[in-house]
Amino acid sequence: MSEVVSLGQPTVGEEELEAVSRVFASGWLSGAGPACRAFEEQLAATVGTQHALATSNCGAALHLGLDVLGAGPGDEVIVGDYTFPATGHSVMWTGATPVFADVRPDIWSADPASVESLVTERTVGILAVDVFGQPADYDELRAIADRHGLWLMEDAACSAGATYKGRPAGSLADVATFSFHGRKGITAGEGGALTTDDPELAARARKLHTYGIEPALTREGARELPVPSFDEAGYNYRLSDVAAAIMSVQLRRLPDLLAARRRVAGLYGELLGDLELVTLPVALPDREHPWQSYVVALDGSLDRGAVATALREQGVQCNFGTYASHVQPVYGSTRHLPVSADLFARHLAIPMHANLRDDEVERVADTLRRVVTSSAATR
Tell me: the pLDDT tens digits for 271-308?
Answer: 999 999 999 999 999 999 999 999 999 999 999 999 99
Give the whole-angstrom CA distance, residue 170 versus residue 254.
Answer: 15
- The architecture in CATH of the region 254-378 reads Alpha-Beta Complex (3.90)
Give the whole-angstrom CA distance, residue 33 versus residue 35.
Answer: 6
- pLDDT at res. 220: 76
- Report the half-sphere exposure of 12 (CA within 13 A, side-chain side): 22
Q: Where in the chain is the domain with CATH 3.40.640.10?
A: 14-251
- pLDDT at res. 379: 67
Q: With bands split at pLDDT 50, 70 and 90, how would you rate the model's confidence at 146? A: very high
Give the whole-angstrom CA distance, residue 212 versus residue 206.
Answer: 8
User: Given this structure, which CATH class describes domain 14-251?
Assistant: alpha beta
How does strand 175-179 pair with strand 151-155? parallel
Ramachandran region, residue 221 (left: φ > 0; alpha: ψ -120 to 50; beta: rest): left
Give the whole-angstrom CA distance, residue 89 versus residue 96.
Answer: 10
- Paired with 167 in beta bridges are 164
Q: Does 309 score more than 60 pLDDT?
A: yes
pLDDT in tens, 325-363: 999 999 999 999 999 999 999 999 999 999 999 999 999
Report the amino acid identity of residue 114: S
- Residues 89 and 117: beta-carbon distance below 8 Å: no
- pLDDT at res. 219: 74
Q: pTM for the whole thing?
A: 0.96
Helical spans, DSSP H, in the chain: 14-26, 34-47, 58-69, 86-93, 112-117, 138-148, 199-208, 241-272, 304-313, 338-346, 358-378
Q: Does 2 score more than 80 pLDDT?
A: no
- Residues 233 and 207: beta-carbon distance below 8 Å: no
CB atoms within 10 A of CB 30: 14
Question: pLDDT: is 259 or 216 the higher one?
Answer: 259
Give the whole-angstrom CA distance, residue 62 versus residue 58.
Answer: 6
- Paired with 35 in beta bridges are none
Local structure of 98: helix, strand or coil: strand
- pLDDT at res. 223: 79
User: Both ends of the chain: CA-CA distance in Å?
Assistant: 27
Residue 33 has φ and ψ, to the nearest 5°, of: -100, -160
pLDDT in tens, 19-52: 999 999 999 999 889 999 999 999 999 999 999 9
pLDDT in tens, 109-129: 999 999 999 999 999 999 999
Contacts of 204 (CB under 8 A, 6+ apart): 68
Q: Which of 74, 76, 133 is nearest to 262 (CA)?
A: 133
Local structure of 128: helix, strand or coil: strand
DSSP string, 144-165: HHHHHT-EEEEE-TT-TT-EET
Q: Does 259 score more than 60 pLDDT?
A: yes
- Residues 239 and 36: beta-carbon distance below 8 Å: yes
- pLDDT at res. 348: 98
- Report the half-sphere exposure of 97 (CA within 13 A, side-chain side): 11
- pLDDT at res. 378: 76
CB atoms within 10 A of CB 330: 10
Question: pLDDT: is 1 or 190 the higher one?
Answer: 190
Report the amino acid identity of residue 186: I
pLDDT in tens, 192-229: 999 999 999 999 999 999 999 888 777 777 778 888 88
- pLDDT at res. 227: 86
Contacts of 379 (CB under 8 A, 6+ apart): 301, 302, 303
Q: Where in the chain is the domain with CATH 3.90.1150.10?
A: 254-378
- pLDDT at res. 1: 52
Q: Does 99 score more than 70 pLDDT?
A: yes
Residue 114 has φ and ψ, to the nearest 5°, of: -65, -40
Sign of the dihedral through C-alpha 22, 52, 94, 110: negative
Cα radius of gyration (the chain): 21
> What secondary structure letter does DSSP report for 107?
T
